[in-house]
Amino acid sequence: MTKKAIIAAILALGCATTNAQEKLFNRPNVESPVINNDGTVTFNLYAPKAVKVEVSGDFTNAPAPLTEGENGVWSFTTGKLEPELYRYTFNIDGLSDVKDPANIYVNRDITSYTNIFIISSAKGDKGDLYRVNEVPHGNLAKVWYDSPTLKMQRRMTVYTPAGYDKGKSYPVMYLLHGAGGDENAWSELGRAAQILDNLIAQGKAKPMIVVMPNGNTNCQAAPGEWSKGMYQPSFRGSGDKPLASMEESFMDIVNYIESHYKVAKGKQNRAICGLSMGGGHSFMTSKLYPSTFGYIGLFSAAIHVNGEGNDTYAKFQKDTKTQNQLANLFAAKPNLYYIAIGKTDFLYEQNAGLRHFLDDKGYKYEYIETEGGHIWRNWRIYLTDFAQRVFK
């Protein structure tokens, strides 16, 4: 279309679509959030009838009050924020979790939608790894595969790195989500494609395929993406009893990937890692198939042999099956056994118990301890770190 035709179409479309019209003509043109040059962020909300407006987010301990300015626009400016991906919503007159109408960028974490924004610094900080930079991009596909073990079609997300069409074969990282998540979690909340694109472009990670399956073995796919319809998500997937566990059905995934993609075989070309429940799945799967995965990453892992408080080590000492499986796994000499957790994570003691047991047996592992708890900020950090340690 010519420019003139485009402008004519815009004007005509403006008259035809009520929502667009409302946005364009009935409200002040509010920009929000505004990332200021000094590293502070200003939120603006048009709410002329509101009495009280606050912003809640992971950059403020308590909801911060906005103040009303001209034309019914409320505003709040943060202090200087570090490079990071941040989440927020508004609270308006007692109504919580209201999305910012000026910001189309949102994330879903189980049942909660929040707006997001990224602070980047162009110094290679975290925020820079999470944003889309002018680098070659990998492709992200929603792929259906057949699971003979679970007797269903299942959906997963597959990242293939830039240049995949020209390359010969690639190592594979299996990247697993936590309870309440699904095959969309790591690519959306975890920014996995952006992290891999950026690390590969910087030469810090090897080009690799990243496979993000659905860890709820009673579901075919994320909510709304399979025949169960548009149900409300929960921590228990569909709530149905699954035919088998993630570890029991895991080779269905590996077999599909290795027969449909250009895959470098052998354990030195396979990594398995995950967060929380997905860390538990990585723990269970790696010891069930002790010669299959060369790189194992437990991020804030909810491991199988869990106890209350400090009794985890005692449970490991009593669990002969787990002991034997771990003995087989470490006899096969994994290239890397990696444990990462935050200091205030509610699974800290459980992971400390596992470490105590591994120390006891003389099994080698790498341990990373960060600030903070059981949150996506930490999982993005662990993925960024782990991705640079594998296949080298």
Contact flag: residue 320 with its own copies (CB under 8 A): no
Q: Which stretch binds its own copies (CB under 8 A): 267-275, 321-329, 345-353, 358-366?
A: 345-353
Minimal distance in Å, beta carbon 360 to its own copies? 22
Contact flag: residue 377 with its own copies (CB under 8 A): no
C-alpha 347/C-alpha 206 separation (Å) is 31
Using CB under 8 A as the binding rule, the residues of this chain from 187 to 206 that contact its own copies are none
Instruction: Strands of the chain (E only): list them.
Output: 34-35, 41-46, 53-57, 64-65, 67-68, 73-77, 84-92, 95-98, 106-109, 112-119, 139-147, 152-160, 172-176, 209-212, 270-275, 295-299, 336-342, 366-370
Contact flag: residue 288 with its own copies (CB under 8 A): no
Q: How many residues bind its own copies (CB under 8 A)?
A: 93
Using CB under 8 A as the binding rule, the residues of this chain from 220 to 279 that contact its own copies are 223-227, 229-230, 232-233, 235-236, 245-246, 260, 276-277
Q: How far is CA 390 from CA 131, 173, 206, 337, in A?
A: 22, 9, 8, 10
Residues in the chain: 392
Residue with Cβ nearer its own copies (107 or 268): 107
Using CB under 8 A as the binding rule, the residues of this chain from 25 to 84 that contact its own copies are 31, 47-50
Minimal distance in Å, beta carbon 140 to its own copies? 5
Contact flag: residue 162 with its own copies (CB under 8 A): yes
Residue with Cβ nearer its own copies (116 or 358): 116
336, 392, 381, 376: which is closest to 116 by C-alpha?
376
Minimal distance in Å, beta carbon 326 to its own copies? 17
Which residues is 210 bridged to in the sheet? 159, 173
Backbone φ/ψ region at 346: left (φ over 0), alpha (ψ -120 to 50), beta: alpha
Contact flag: residue 346 with its own copies (CB under 8 A): yes
Residue with Cβ nearer its own copies (294 or 353): 353
Minimal distance in Å, beta carbon 392 to its own copies? 26
Q: Which two tokens stand for residue 140?
A: 């992200």
Using CB under 8 A as the binding rule, the residues of this chain from 79 to 108 that contact its own copies are 92-99, 101-106, 108
Q: Which residues contact 227 (CB under 8 A, 6 or more apart)?
A: 220
